[in-house]
């Protein structure tokens, strides 16, 4: 097996608990990225990331508190002509909040949050019950004490047919996918590696993968050395039956009144008609003296939803671990 780790030099974060740390600043010492891979036995076929043993980490509370967070997606922006690359690691989602005494949803509401670690910044996504009060941020890496990540790679077997994927699934193996998106110039692009959480394989060549979350960037806009802002990342899920194209469900702010249409044993629930939605919105946003600005009120009636579906060209490889 092979283990790769990327570490950042230590700093001081005295007096701050974990919750205070992720909400603000920690230390002011400069940090430098370094890598210290160790190699043991060569893999027989290939290698892929073992996400159960891949983590981001940092220190808080003056080094008394050491925080480890699992990773859900690895993203590498690359330049084929120079061989340079930048890494971004999307953490799993968790929930926090309610630190006040007595507990108060008003003073300190709970929220979901995720990290994206990079060598320059830590991106922190905080999502409340609505878009109102969203406090997602991009924090310079210097604000974190001893941050970094550990990527654990293990021998992996490429899966090239639906039958091979089916066998790996039925043998209870972990499945990892590696997907590459290229810019039109054929030089710039990025690849993501992520655990496959939902998939089916068939005795013939057909298969389907539905999984996520993954984090995406625009390969035409962001190259090695770019400093993306938080909102430049696309939060998405993937659905594909081919190694070369995928449905990409991209998250975006979506009006709650967009409604839905679905069919179950209870019958058909139709969407609101456009004129119905417009009448409701006019009453909510225009027909009264709102106690807060109207644009803020409108944001409170939006959610982040995987509502857009795009077909994107890509190249994907699937691997079985173990």
Which pLDDT score, from 0 to 100, does residue 315 have? 97
Neighbours of 257 (CB within 10 A): 15
CA 171 to each of CA 22, 45, 49, 166, 175: distance values in angstroms, whole numbers, following the listed order: 40, 18, 19, 9, 11
Q: Which long-range contacts (CB under 8 A, 24 or more apart) does 134-141 make?
A: 135/111, 136/230, 136/231, 137/230, 138/229, 138/230, 139/25, 141/8, 141/31
d(C-alpha 299, C-alpha 297), whole Å: 5
Which pLDDT score, from 0 to 100, does residue 170 have? 94
- Whether the link from the prior residue into 76 is cis, omega within 30° of 0, is no
d(C-alpha 75, C-alpha 56), whole Å: 13
pTM: 0.81
Residue for token pair 């940092």: 58
Nearest to residue 138, comparing CAs of 120, 165, 156, 153?
120
d(C-alpha 119, C-alpha 32), whole Å: 8
Which pLDDT score, from 0 to 100, does residue 8 have? 46
CA 125 to each of CA 56, 135, 260: distance values in angstroms, whole numbers, following the listed order: 15, 7, 26
d(C-alpha 172, C-alpha 155), whole Å: 16
Report the alpha-carbon angle 288-274-308, nearest 5: 105
Residue for token pair 């230390």: 27
Q: In the structure encoding, which two tokens stand for residue 244, read together?
A: 């070369």
Torsion of CA 183, 222, 124, 126, to 10 degrees: -60
Which pLDDT score, from 0 to 100, does residue 292 have? 86
**Pairing between β-strand 262-264 and β-strand 245-255 as defined by DSSP bridges:** unpaired
CB 139 within 8 A of CB 116: no
Q: Is 108 exposed, middle or buried (0-12, 13-18, 19+ CB in 10 A)?
A: middle
- Whether the link from the prior residue into 213 is cis, omega within 30° of 0, is yes
Q: Is 284 helix (H, G, I), strand (E, B) or coil?
A: helix
| pLDDT digit string (tens) for the chain, length 322 residues | 444 545 443 333 333 444 444 444 333 223 333 233 323 333 446 999 999 999 999 998 777 899 999 999 999 999 999 999 999 999 999 987 666 778 777 777 778 889 999 999 999 998 877 666 677 899 999 999 999 999 999 999 999 999 999 999 999 999 999 999 999 999 999 999 999 999 998 888 899 999 999 999 999 999 999 999 998 999 999 999 999 999 999 998 888 877 655 656 666 667 778 888 888 888 888 878 888 888 888 888 888 877 789 999 999 999 999 8
Q: In the structure encoding, which two tokens stand for residue 177, read together?
A: 């996918």
Which pLDDT score, from 0 to 100, does residue 79 have? 97
């Amino acid at each position: 097996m092979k283990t790769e780790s990327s570490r950042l030099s230590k700093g001081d974060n005295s007096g701050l608990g974990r919750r205070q740390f992720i909400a603000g600043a920690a230390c002011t010492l400069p940090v430098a990225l370094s890598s210290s891979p160790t190699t043991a036995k060569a893999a027989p076929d290939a290698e892929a990331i073992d996400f159960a043993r891949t983590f981001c980490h940092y220190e808080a509370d003056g080094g008394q508190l050491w925080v480890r967070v699992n990773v859900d997606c690895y993203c590498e922006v690359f330049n084929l002509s120079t061989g340079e690359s930048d890494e971004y690691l999307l953490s799993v989602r968790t929930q926090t909040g309610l630190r006040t005494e007595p507990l108060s949803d008003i003073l300190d509401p709970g929220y979901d949050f995720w990290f994206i670690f990079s060598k320059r910044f830590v991106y922190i996504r905080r999502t409340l019950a609505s878009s109102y009060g969203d406090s997602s941020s991009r924090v310079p890496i210097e604000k974190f004490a001893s941050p970094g990540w550990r990527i654990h790679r293990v021998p992996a077997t490429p899966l090239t047919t639906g039958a091979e994927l089916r066998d790996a699934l039925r043998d209870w193996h972990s499945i990892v996918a590696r997907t590459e998106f290229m810019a039109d110039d054929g030089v710039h692009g990025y690849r993501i590696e992520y655990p496959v959480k939902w998939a089916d394989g068939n005795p013939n060549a057909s298969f389907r993968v539905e999984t996520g979350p993954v984090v995406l960037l625009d390969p035409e806009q962001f190259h090695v050395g770019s400093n993306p802002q938080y909102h430049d990342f696309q939060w998405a899920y993937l659905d594909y039956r081919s190694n070369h194209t995928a449905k990409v469900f991209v998250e975006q702010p979506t009006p709650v009144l967009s409604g839905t249409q679905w069919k179950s044993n209870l019958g058909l629930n139709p969407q609101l008609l456009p004129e119905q939605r417009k009448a409701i919105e006019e009453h909510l946003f225009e027909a009264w003296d709102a106690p807060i600005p109207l644009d803020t009120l409108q944001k409170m009636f939006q959610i982040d939803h995987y509502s857009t579906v795009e077909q994107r060209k890509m190249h994907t490889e699937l691997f079985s671990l173990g």
